[in-house]
Amino acid sequence: MTGSGSFSFGGRDVAAGYDDVMVPILFEPWAMRLLAEHDDWTGMTVLDLAAGTGVVTRELVERVGSEGGVIASDISGAMLEHARRRCEGSVPAVRFVEGPAHPLDLPDASVDYIVCQQGFQFFPDRPAAAREMARVLRGGGRVLASTWRPVDECELFGWICEALRAIDAPEIAELMRAPFDFLPETELRETFEGAGFRDVEVGVRSHPMASTGGVERAITIVYGSPIGPKLDELSEDRQAAFRTALTGLVERHTDGSTLGRMAANLLSARKGA
């Protein structure tokens, strides 16, 4: 996989930018849609894998109720710090596991369900991650995972890449493609089938990114994302040229009520009994 190596959520600033900017506009609405794919979470023990700042975790707590359990796992301690805050005082109490998706620091057959919103594409060895998911699930347990579709279908991020190429910053544009372009739908499906999952289904979901913030909001999103620190390293002139290029693209393609459409693959799969 190209490009994802230095796309990191590890720094404190990136975690704060993600939680302040990306979560409300993008990850929270998508978390609601993802969890609506399953009817009844009551009483389940659910692992939120690559939980980030805990937007899915917090919603799971509400859904499993006091008889259930929620575990939030992520490789980034900085991201989990926000998740801890978001889930403070929750019932049931969330168990936090800081560490990679593979190996996963959880016992065999210990969870009923795994939810992974926009994390699977970042795992360096995805077949190993899928095998770990199978290992920690109980028989009959399920996975629900979402991954973005190619950057051309996630329009704002496509325009960001175009604006970066326009100012001759192809290496940052390449980095920006990491969440989108390096996990084809067929590979997603085959990875779970290869790990022994049954009833593997991949569907496509597409929604506009609602925002009245226009180009100012778009620019906040870029600087709040993991490429923000790379942009900060560019000269003032190049950053200004980037903003001009992005402004032109956003204004050309939107009517001011959205920041374009986003599209995701949604995988569901079941572990055999």
- Least spacing, CB of residue 177 vs ligand SAM, in Å: 14
**Nearest to ligand SAM of 53, 265 (CB atom):** 53
**Nearest to ligand SAM of 55, 114 (CB atom):** 55
Cβ atoms within 10 Å, residue 138: 15
**Nearest to ligand SAM of 147, 245 (CB atom):** 147
**Spatial separation of the C-alpha atoms in residues 100 and 76, rounded to whole Å:** 9
Q: What are phi and psi of 93, to 5 degrees?
A: -70, 140
Residue indicated by tokens 């325009």: 159
- Least spacing, CB of residue 256 vs ligand SAM, in Å: 26
Contacts of 5 (CB under 8 A, 6+ apart): none
- Least spacing, CB of residue 67 vs ligand SAM, in Å: 24
- Least spacing, CB of residue 27 vs ligand SAM, in Å: 4
Q: Residues interacting with ligand SAM, by CB under 6 A?
A: 9, 23, 27, 31, 50-53, 55-56, 74-76, 79, 100-101, 117-119, 122-123
CB-based closest residue to ligand SAM: 52
118 within 8 A of 179, measured Cβ to Cβ: yes
- Least spacing, CB of residue 200 vs ligand SAM, in Å: 21
Q: How many CA atoms lie within 13 A of 160 on its CB side?
A: 31
- Least spacing, CB of residue 173 vs ligand SAM, in Å: 18
Q: What is the DSSP string of 226-250?
A: TTHHHHHTS-HHHHHHHHHHHHHHH
**Nearest to ligand SAM of 53, 191 (CB atom):** 53
- Least spacing, CB of residue 119 vs ligand SAM, in Å: 4
**Nearest to ligand SAM of 167, 218 (CB atom):** 218
Residue indicated by tokens 């008889």: 67
Q: What are phi and psi of 261, to 5 degrees?
A: -95, 155
**Nearest to ligand SAM of 33, 238 (CB atom):** 33
**Nearest to ligand SAM of 187, 253 (CB atom):** 187
Residue 35: closest CA among 210, 266, 272, 271: 266
**Spatial separation of the C-alpha atoms in residues 142 and 138, rounded to whole Å:** 9
Determine the 3-state secondary structure of 110 from DSSP.
Answer: coil
Cβ atoms within 10 Å, residue 185: 15
